[in-house]
Amino acid sequence: MKVLFFTRKVDRNDPRIGFTHRWIEKLAERVDRLYVVCLEKGETDLPENVEVKALGSNRLRRIIMLKIYLTLTVPKVDVIFCHMAPIYTIISAPYAKLYGKKLYMWHTHGAVTWKLKLAHYLADGLLTASEGSVGIRSDKIIPLGHGIDTEMFKPKKIGHRGLVLISVGRISPVKRIESLIHGMSALVKMHKNAKLLLVGGVPVESQSRYLIKLKELVSELGLEENVEFVGPVNYDKIPDYYNKADVFVSASSTGSLDKAVLEAMACGLPVVVRGEIYKELKEPISFKDSKDFAAAVERALSMSSRGTLRREIVENHELGRLMDMIVEVFGR
C-alpha cells in the first residue's frame, strides 16, 4: 500500500506537533511507501520508505509546487490521508476524484467550521479519537482512539520537592488557564509550597496578550513562587516533565479529548480535568470551577490505582494500535 499524507509540519522536536514525526514513523512500518507533504520541515529521522516534500512559506510558490506534486504523486498512491487542517482534504479532493483514490482525514476538535463540513462531505471517512472528539455526527465518523507513544510516555522515577502540578499545551484562551491559577490560590492554603508548571508557548502573536494577563493575575494573587511559566519544551523532553509532577491539570474547553491528558495518564499521572468529554475515560477526576479545584487535586493525590491509568491508554490509545486500525480502514 502507498499513502500520501498531508500535515502542517514535520519536526521531531516541535513542542506542539512533534508527535506527528512518530505517527509518520509508525505508519511507514505498515505501508510500502509513504509520501508526506508539509508546509515546514525541521529535524527528521525517518525510514527509507518515507519521502517528505516541504512546500515552504511563499504562498504562490507553494500553490504551484503543490499542484505539480499532486499531479505527479496521486496516480502512484492508493490513499490520501490528511491530518487535522480541513483545507488539505478540500485541496486533495479533486485529485482523489480524478484518479479514483480513497480520501480520508483525521480531525480532533469540537469546533465545526464550514471548511470542516465541506472536507467531511468530500472525504470517504473522517477518522477521530473518540465519539466526542469532533463536532459532526454522521456515518462517516470513525473513532479509533488517540495515538499515544507509550514507549516514550511511561512512568519514570524523577525526584522532586513538594506538590507539583503540571499542565501541558499552548497558552491560549481556549485552555482557560486562568481557572487553574485561581484554583492554586485555594490549594496553596493546604500545600504552601505547591507549584503549577505551565508547559507550552503562545501559538500566535495575537494571543501574546493572554500570556501577559495570566502573568498579571499570578502577581495579583501573590502566586509568583507557586506558578511557573516554563514555555515551549522540545517534544522528546515532555515525558520528563510529566514524571516530575504529582498531578496533571487541565481546564481546556476545546471540546475534544486532549492528547496531553492521555500522555500524562500513560506516565501514570492522575489527571484533574474540566469538561464533559472526559467522561469517556475511566479514571479522570473532574472539577467545575476554581472553587472546587483544590478538592479535586486532593482526590487525585489519594488515588491508589495509578497502574490503571496507564493500562487504559495502552489498551485504547496506543500509537501502534491506532496505526494498525488506520491501515485497516485504508484497506476497506
Which helix (H) or strand (E) covers residue 6, if one does?
Answer: strand 2-6
What is the C-alpha to C-alpha distance for residues 106 and 24, in angstroms, rounded to an integer?
Answer: 14
- 179 and 58, same structural domain? no
Question: Could you tell me the three cell numbers for 161?
Answer: 520537592
Q: Decide: 96 and 4 in contact? Cβ < 8 Å.
A: no
- 300 and 180, same structural domain? yes
- 126 and 193, same structural domain? no
Residue 275 in 3-state DSSP? Answer: coil
- Asked if residue 51 has pLDDT above 80, the reply is yes
Say which residue, 307 or 151, is predicted with more confidence. Answer: 151
Q: What is the pLDDT of residues 136-185, one digit of tens each?
A: 999 999 999 899 999 999 998 777 788 999 999 999 998 899 999 999 99
- 58 and 41, same structural domain? yes
Say which residue, 307 or 174, is predicted with more confidence. Answer: 174
To 10 degrees, the CA torsion angle through 191, 154, 266, 29? 160
In a domain, 249, yes or no: yes
| Helix/strand/coil (H/E/C) assignment for every residue in 106-167 | ECCECCCCHHHHHHHHHCCEEEECCCCCECCCCCCEEECCCCECCCCCCCCCCCCCCCEEEE
- Dmax (CA) of the chain: 65
Q: What is the pLDDT of residues 256-271, one digit of tens each?
A: 678 899 999 999 999 9
Cα–Cα nearest to 22, from 37, 30, 12, 31: 12
Band (pLDDT 50/70/90 cuts) for residue 289 is confident
- 191 and 173, same structural domain? yes
In a domain, 7, yes or no: yes
- Asked if residue 74 has pLDDT above 90, the reply is yes
| pLDDT for residue 286 | 85
Q: What's the mean per-residue pLDDT of the chain?
A: 92
In a domain, 213, yes or no: yes
- 251 and 108, same structural domain? no
Phi, psi of 128 (to 5 degrees): -150, 175
- 65 and 186, same structural domain? no
- 134 and 173, same structural domain? no
Q: How many domains does the chain have?
A: 2
- 193 and 136, same structural domain? no
Band (pLDDT 50/70/90 cuts) for residue 305 is low
Say which residue, 284 or 237, is predicted with more confidence. Answer: 237
Q: Find the DSSP H helices in the chain.
A: 19-28, 59-73, 86-99, 114-122, 177-190, 208-220, 238-243, 259-266, 293-301, 307-316, 319-330
Across 302-321, average pLDDT: 86
Q: What is the pLDDT of residues 114-126, one digit of tens each?
A: 999 999 999 999 9
- Asked if residue 255 has pLDDT above 70, the reply is no
| pLDDT for residue 1 | 97
* Degrees to nearest 5, angle at CA 137 with 134 and 138: 125
In a domain, 253, yes or no: yes
- Asked if residue 188 has pLDDT above 70, the reply is yes
- 200 and 83, same structural domain? no
The proportion of the chain whose per-residue pLDDT surpasses 90, expressed as a percent, equals: 75
Q: Decide: 238 and 148 in contact? Cβ < 8 Å.
A: no
In a domain, 199, yes or no: yes
Band (pLDDT 50/70/90 cuts) for residue 304 is low
Q: For residue 44, what is the domain's CATH number?
A: 3.40.50.2000
Band (pLDDT 50/70/90 cuts) for residue 290 is confident
Across 9-21, average pLDDT: 93
What is the C-alpha to C-alpha distance for residues 250 and 256, in angstroms, rounded to an integer?
Answer: 12
Band (pLDDT 50/70/90 cuts) for residue 8 is very high
Across 279-283, average pLDDT: 73
The residue whose grid cell reads 496507564 is: 310
- Specify which residues 198 forms β-bridges with: 167, 229
| pLDDT for residue 161 | 81
DSSP string, 168-189: ES---GGG-HHHHHHHHHHHHH
Domain of residue 247 covers: 164-315
- Asked if residue 283 has pLDDT above 90, the reply is no
What is the C-alpha to C-alpha distance for residues 198 and 260, in angstroms, rounded to an integer?
Answer: 12
- 93 and 230, same structural domain? no
Instruction: Kindly tell me the burial class for residue 194, based on how many C-beta atoms sit within 10 Å of its own C-beta (0-12, 13-18, 19 or more).
Output: buried
Q: Decide: 128 and 142 in contact? Cβ < 8 Å.
A: yes
- 186 and 121, same structural domain? no
